[in-house]
Amino acid sequence: DFVKGLYEKIIETDIYKEYMASEDHSYEADRELWRKIYKNYIFNNEALDQVLEDQSLYWNDDKEIVDTFVLKTIKRFEEKNGANQELLPEFKDDEDQEYARRLFRRTILNADYYRHLVSENTKNWDLERIAFMDVIIMQTALAEILSFPNIPVSVSLNEYVEIAKLYSTAKSGGFINGTLDGIVNQLKKEGKLNKN
């Protein structure tokens, strides 16, 4: 129903009517039509946002990035490439890709150890009572702190506190900051963390 309604809305727009009435049947004109349609009717479409949110609560967090990628990709399309248009890269460069891959792997492979550290530093809280998103954020933060010696601890802490503010509860930022700070101090005392 949503797609049908969007189609009906688009074919009634001046953008579409002008395109259909135009004598310009070039690839550039076609590309510009799709760019305008996407920018004006998909990019900031609250009804589409609702449809996507019904599919996944977290989709809206990604939509702005996806929208930007789609618009930039359409703008770069070239007729000579036909159906083999090059998409924008997912990562800035190889180093960026390796960072993401390594962080993800370390977070998953060491999950039990990281959860143990969290549990030790939240003695008044049963790990099962901590918001699941907070646990995931702290696991990822610990993976970064322990696996990337060139990233200062304060940078990691600040970054994950900000992530918590976006993706978890209102009090998560402070809770995560305090818990991670305690873990960092413990690891330094034990000689398991040798960076500032």
For residue range 45-55, list pLDDT tens digits in order.
888 888 888 88
Mean pLDDT over each residue of the chain, to the nearest integer: 90
Residue 60 is predicted with a pLDDT of 66
Residue 181: both structure tokens together: 């700070």
Residue 102 is predicted with a pLDDT of 96
Instruction: Give residue-wise pLDDT tens across range 125-151.
Output: 777 788 889 999 999 999 999 999 999
The amino acid that residue 172 corresponds to is S
Residue 161 is predicted with a pLDDT of 94
Instruction: Give residue-wise pLDDT tens across range 158-170.
Output: 999 999 988 888 8
Residue 22: both structure tokens together: 């135009």
Nearest to 159 by CA among 111, 117, 103: 103
Alpha-carbon distance values, 193 to 118, 142, 169, 185 (Å): 16, 11, 29, 9
Nearest to 69 by CA among 42, 45, 46, 48: 42
pTM of the complete model: 0.68
